[in-house]
Amino acid sequence: MALWLFLLCAVPVQGALKDACESSALVQLQTGVARRREIDIVHILSMGREASCLVLNLASGNGSHPTIFEPLNGVVEGEAIVTMSTQQADSTLQCLYDCHSCTTGVINTGSMTSLQDYCSELEKMPEKMPYLVVKTTRIVDHGALVRAVPAQQLTSARFIVLLRDPRGVWASTKPNTGWAIHSIPLICELLALQALSLPELAAAVGERLLISVYEQWTLDTADFAGQVAHLVNEDVGEFQLLGKDAQKEVTELLPPKWVADLTKDELNQVETDKNCMVYMERVGYVAGSSETSQIKDHAGLVAALSPEETAALEQLRSKQSVLQTSVRDLPEEQKFVFEPAAKKHK
């Protein structure tokens, strides 16, 4: 119980919901023990400023499931999110999905310590551990998941991908001048990587994927919470009550704040950025308007890329290192070795 209290935060957010976004703990479910349930991990994938903390709270059932927040915090920041080598991305994801595959430095120190603690607990009582909810904002190329995580582990995972109008993302980021992603071109790169790599993830995980567009789901958080409940096999009614607690007034959402908060120059920078142009067309946002009627449905968002979109994705990925070394191929002395605490004290 003490470990769970460490992993879960209890700061009230809009009614009964709690904010787990101050936790830096890394928790891991794949430890060689027997499967406990159909779902081992629920992975929320965002680039940030997409209400991912609220979604983390919903997916965890208001703290009924353990959660972790940003194991890459302090390890990968800003432009490094785009230029992260495939080796580093693979090692990070393998660590997230299999605690026997962690190398020193691939995640932050606090997360590594928490990983050891959780794995020890899991070894002792695997049948009692619920699914884990993980939120990352530094894994934006979804193709890395397909490349790095074994198919069996993808099967026992569920995925929530968050998307948002780039003008809204910038308006939310703009006041935080010290942030490493405080850059319109960088935000456009991250969003484009998100959207253009979605077809790869969808092809690998099928119906285990929920794509959520901020401008749509925030208008009815109870309905969205019900969709999350369906995805993770939880009680729909209970989740909808949590979602209802988080609902904002329509006047707070429409028109979106970026309409008043961004200058003409900022709007022009976003709408003429080549990566934001690709992203907006891919998702269905309209330049010069806050209209959302053209936002695509799930089928449209996971449809095959056009030749132009494929070229844009290849150009973004060209910034990544071509190193493909898996953590499993590293010498033993470079690996983080987990030995369950229960076995140490026989």
Give the pLDDT of residue 97: 84
Contact 160, 210 (CB under 8 A): yes
pTM of the model: 0.85
In angstroms, the CA 331 to CA 173 distance is 41
The closest alpha carbon to 188, from 280, 97, 120, belongs to 280
* DSSP H/E element including 335: strand 335-336
Give the pLDDT of residue 334: 36
3-state secondary structure string across 178-225: CCCCCCHHHHHHHHHHHHHCHHHHHHHHHHHEEEEEHHHHCCCHHHHH
Contact 24, 12 (CB under 8 A): no
DSSP letters, 115-169, are: HHHHHHHHHH-GGG---EEEEESS---THHHHHHS-HHHHHTEEEEEEE--HHHH
Angle in degrees, 0-180, between the axes of helices 52-59 and 221-232, rounded to the nearest 10: 50
In angstroms, the CA 281 to CA 294 distance is 9
Q: Which residue has tokens 């002792």?
A: 124
Question: How many other CB atoms are found less than 10 A from the CB of residue 78?
Answer: 14
In angstroms, the CA 23 to CA 45 distance is 17
**Exposed, middle or buried by CB within 10 Å (0-12, 13-18, 19+), for 61?**
buried
- In the chain, the domains with their CATH numbers are 2-317 (3.40.50)
Q: What is the percent of the chain where pLDDT is above 70?
A: 80
Give the pLDDT of residue 52: 95
Task: Show the low-confidence residues of the chain (pLDDT under 70).
Answer: 1-37, 99, 114-115, 118, 321-346
In angstroms, the CA 20 to CA 56 distance is 7
Alpha-carbon distances of 139 from 73, 124, 197, 224, rounded to whole Å: 11, 31, 11, 23
Give the pLDDT of residue 291: 95
* Phi, psi angles (nearest 5°) of residue 178: -90, 0
Give the pLDDT of residue 321: 58
Q: Is the peptide bond before 150 cis (omega within 30 degrees of 0)?
A: no
Cβ neighbours for 55, distance < 8 A, ≥ 6 positions apart: 44, 46, 135, 160, 162, 212, 228
